[in-house]
Amino acid sequence: MESLEVLNLETKEVPRISRTAFLELTPATIMKFDRPIVVDFLEPPEPGTITNLIRSEIGDLPAALFKKSRDPEAPGRSQVTKIPLNSFFKTPLYSSSSHKTIYRIVTNIKYQTELIDRIIGMKANQLFPYQQRGNSANLWINYEGQFGRAHFDELENFNLQLEGTKRFVCLPPGRSNFYIRSFWRGFGHHSQAVNFDAVDEARFPKLMKELSARREIILRPGQLLYIPLGWWHQVEPLGEININLNFWLHSWKALRRPYVFIDGVYKVVLRQLLGLYDYQPEQRHQVPTFKTTLEGNTNDREAQS
């Protein structure tokens, strides 16, 4: 199979395959290769199409709003609350490029099966089993200039770009050379070196040896990027408005990377306690008013960047 030959090539270039090849291989096979892959998954949607669809279908439902300092070196956590999704599009503050604070939406829409199926043009759960316990389907919505600092995800990440363009920088898994922040404070998936484009050699000399393996991807509307579990990455929205739909899937691969597994268990417990990303079908028309804090990563899984 030609697509298998492409994936087996020993190169630092990120392989790029068609939707047909991706469906033939299946995500389960893709995950075994354990390297970033770009898929031309959809015909590029017309600008504004996905925004309008999302607003019309789930605009009145609650979504998690993350608030964080624009300074990527800021040590604090994100403040998180829930707002009606349409409020994010209507409020000028959230799109301001001059404000010292950035805002992003990261919300689990795993119960919105019809919307997800319309977006990807097939029964999505048959391809990405996002409704299984612990898996998820998430909307990421943010604006230009909202940098997602270097981190890894504890789940397999299939990230579909729908509106705007995003730049990703990826590095293979590693622990000791990446200067991981304090696990016990909930920062076990972040590097102290927040930006792989500007690493301070004096502070992070061991990381310099890893940078030769970096991959850079510009992800455009309709393209899907697979980021393997444990791979380091940072994210930079390039378009005025950015919308991504990502599927996080569990994998036994985490057992081969104990630091990823431990961090994953920590996140599962924390997120279930706080209820940040999930809402049950019967709750969909209620808008929670709680406020709390969580590490700013769900892209990070801050964002997860």
pLDDT in tens, 279-302: 444 344 343 333 333 433 333 343
The average confidence (pLDDT) of the chain is 84
Q: Which of 44-58, 106-120, 210-224, 270-284 has the lowest mean pLDDT?
A: 270-284
Give 217's strand partners: 168
pLDDT in tens, 140-170: 999 887 888 899 999 999 999 999 999 999 9
Query: Beta strands 101-108 and 62-69: pairing type?
Result: antiparallel
In this structure, the number of other CB atoms found within 10 A of the CB of residue 80 comes to 22
Residue 148's pLDDT is 86
Of the two residues 68 and 208, the one the predictor is more confident about is 208
Q: How far apart are CA 172 and CA 200, in angstroms?
A: 19
- The top-scoring range by mean pLDDT among 105-109, 267-271, 275-279, 286-290 is 105-109
Cα separation values, 20 from 9, 124, 186, Å? 19, 15, 40
Of the two residues 260 and 124, the one the predictor is more confident about is 124
Q: What is the architecture of the domain spanning 2-294?
A: Sandwich (2.60)
Residue 303's pLDDT is 37
For 164-296, where are the E strands, in sequence order? 166-171, 215-219, 223-227, 232-237, 241-249, 292-294
Please calculate the CA angle 108-70-265 and round it to the nearest 5 degrees. Answer: 40
CA Rg value for the chain: 18
Q: How far apart are CA 193 and CA 198, in angstroms?
A: 8
pLDDT in tens, 19-57: 999 999 999 999 999 999 999 999 999 999 999 999 999
Q: How far apart are CA 66 and CA 158, in angstroms?
A: 21
Query: Beta strands 292-294 and 78-84: pairing type?
Result: antiparallel
Q: How far apart are CA 27 and CA 164, in angstroms?
A: 24
Residue 145's pLDDT is 79
Q: How far apart are CA 270 and CA 45, in angstroms?
A: 36
Provide CB contacts within 8 A for 296, sequence distance 6+: 66, 68, 77, 78, 302, 303
Q: What is the torsional sign of CA 70, 76, 78, 81?
A: negative
Residue 14's pLDDT is 92
The string of DSSP codes covering 95-152 is H-SSSSEEEEEEEE-TT-HHHHHHHHTS-HHHHS-TTSTT-EEEEEEEETT--EEEEE
Q: How far apart are CA 124 and CA 162, in angstroms?
A: 15
Q: How far apart are CA 130 and CA 137, in angstroms?
A: 6
Percent of the chain with pLDDT over 70: 82
Residue 272's pLDDT is 66
Torsion of CA 266, 29, 42, 135, to 10 degrees: -20
What stretches of the chain show up as alpha helix (H) in DSSP? Answer: 2-8, 19-33, 49-58, 85-90, 92-95, 113-120, 124-127, 205-208, 258-274
Residue 281's pLDDT is 45
Residue 97's pLDDT is 79
Q: Which of 73-82, 86-95, 147-156 has the lowest mean pLDDT?
A: 73-82
Estimate to the nearest angstrom the gap between the alpha carbon of 83 and the chain centroid: 20
Residue 284's pLDDT is 41
